């Protein structure tokens, strides 16, 4: 479960409010889609959730562990995939995965099976012994995904995870996300692809200028207007917020 309570983050001495009093709860067994225009505060929110930024106020907890007081326990329970697959280019794929397995305390008895399974799922087995600098953008995205998932965390926090993935891998990831939630775990991901959010998410949140302007199931967002697509809703809501 992910819980954000009145979280705020400002830049430039408080003049730019990247995230403004954001409260949000993502329940176990739920896929939560986080939408918003460019610069709305999606990545900042995600960085606050994973501990890459510290909120000015408010609290964040992952599976009940507070990010401020129990950061290590909270981090142990989450998978994070950033919007850019920046990884150690000078390591081989397998060295990177082994490193991640060590720092996330994956037992030796489990890491081989998990790594082999994920490599197979994302079709990266043939390249895992190569230096990451020889990988394409999509392959880097895959190695980051595998690294994030290999300790089998309960909470997945993914920042635009489908970008750069080939259709097959993108499909596999969506399947994994569904299976993960079916096991009672949590997925939080940001995306610009409305169709993906529409089809995959149990609930959707829309952020604009740091404020959560809408949150709920697709039905709740539609307010009874059944024929409206998520794209139309998104445009309507963000325009209203801009006025």
Partner 1 sequence: MNRAFFSLVKTLLNVQYGISEFRERYIKDKRRLWQPIVLGLILLVGFGTLFVMYVFMLIGVAAGGAALGQPELVLTMTILLAQVIELITGVFTIMTAFYFAQDLSILIPMPLKPSQIVAAKFIGVMLSEYLLTIPLMAPAIIIYANYAAVSAMYWIIAVIITLLAPILPLTIASLIVMVLMRLVSATKSKEFFTVLGAVLGVAVSIGIQFFSRHMTILGRDGLDNFAIGNMDFVRMIGSAFPPALWATRAMMMDTAAALYFALFVGVSAVLFAGMLLLAQAVFYRSVLAGTEVSGRRRALNQQQLAGVLSKKRSHTRALFNKEWKLFWRTPMFVTNTIMPLIVMPVVLIFSMMTMTSSPGQGSQELAVSFASQQGSMIFNLIIVAIFIAASGNAVGYTAFSREGHTFWISAAAPVDVKECINAKLLSAWAIMAPFVVAVIAILSVFMHCSLVDFIIITLMAIPGITLAIFLAMLMDALNPKFDWDTPQMLFKNNAASGFTLLAILLLLAVLVLIAILLIASPLGDGMVYAILIAVMTGLTIPGYFILLDAARRLYRGTRLS
Residue pair 190/22 in contact (Cβ under 8 Å)? The answer is: no
As measured in angstroms, the least distance from the Cβ of 130 to partner 1 is 3
As measured in angstroms, the least distance from the Cβ of 240 to partner 1 is 29
* Tokens coding 226: 């059944």
Residue pair 49/60 in contact (Cβ under 8 Å)? The answer is: yes
* Three-state secondary structure call for residue 2: strand
Residue 112 vs 199, nearer CB to partner 1? 112
Residue 75 vs 203, nearer CB to partner 1? 75
Residue 187 vs 233, nearer CB to partner 1? 187
- Of all helices (H) and strands (E), which one includes residue 193? none
As measured in angstroms, the least distance from the Cβ of 72 to partner 1 is 5
Residue 79 vs 162, nearer CB to partner 1? 79
As measured in angstroms, the least distance from the Cβ of 228 to partner 1 is 37
Binding residues for partner 1, per CB under 8 A? Answer: 9, 11, 47, 50-54, 71-76, 80, 82, 84, 86-88, 90-91, 94-95, 98-108, 111-112, 115-116, 125-131, 133-135
Which of 98, 210, 75, 74 has its CA nearest to residue 147?
A: 98
* Tokens coding 81: 């995939």
Q: CA 19, 28, 199: angle at the middle one, nearest 5?
A: 75
Residue 124 vs 165, nearer CB to partner 1? 124
As measured in angstroms, the least distance from the Cβ of 109 to partner 1 is 9
Name 126's Cβ contacts closer than 8 Å, sequence gap at least 6. none
As measured in angstroms, the least distance from the Cβ of 3 to partner 1 is 18
Residue 91 vs 176, nearer CB to partner 1? 91
- Of all helices (H) and strands (E), which one includes residue 138? helix 137-149
DSSP characters for 23-71?
Answer: EEEE-TT-EEEEE--TTSSHHHHHHHHHTSS--SEEEEEETTEETTTSH
């Amino acid at each position: 479960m992910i819980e954000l309570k009145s979280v705020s983050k400002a830049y430039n001495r408080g003049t730019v409010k990247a995230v403004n009093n954001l409260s949000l709860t993502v329940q176990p067994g739920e896929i939560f889609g986080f939408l918003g225009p460019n610069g709305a505060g999606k990545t900042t929110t995600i960085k606050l959730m994973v501990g890459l930024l510290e909120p000015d106020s408010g609290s964040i907890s992952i599976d009940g562990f507070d990010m401020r007081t129990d950061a290590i326990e909270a981090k142990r329970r989450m998978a994070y995939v950033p919007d850019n697959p920046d990884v150690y280019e000078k390591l081989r794929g397998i060295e990177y995965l082994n490193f991640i397995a060590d720092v996330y305390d994956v037992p030796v008895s489990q890491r081989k099976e998990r790594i082999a399974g994920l490599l197979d799922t994302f079709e990266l087995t043939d390249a895992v012994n190569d230096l990451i600098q020889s990988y394409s953008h999509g392959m880097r995205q895959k190695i980051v995904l595998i690294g994030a998932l290999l300790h089998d965390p309960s909470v997945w926090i993914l920042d635009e995870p489908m970008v750069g993935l080939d259709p097959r891998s993108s499909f596999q990831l969506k399947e994994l996300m569904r299976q993960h939630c079916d096991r009672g775990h949590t997925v939080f991901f940001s995306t610009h692809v409305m169709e993906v959010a529409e089809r995959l998410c149990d609930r959707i949140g829309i952020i604009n200028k740091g404020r959560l302007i809408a949150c709920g199931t697709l039905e709740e967002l539609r307010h009874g207007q059944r024929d409206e697509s998520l794209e139309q809703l998104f445009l309507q809501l963000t325009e209203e917020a801009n006025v």
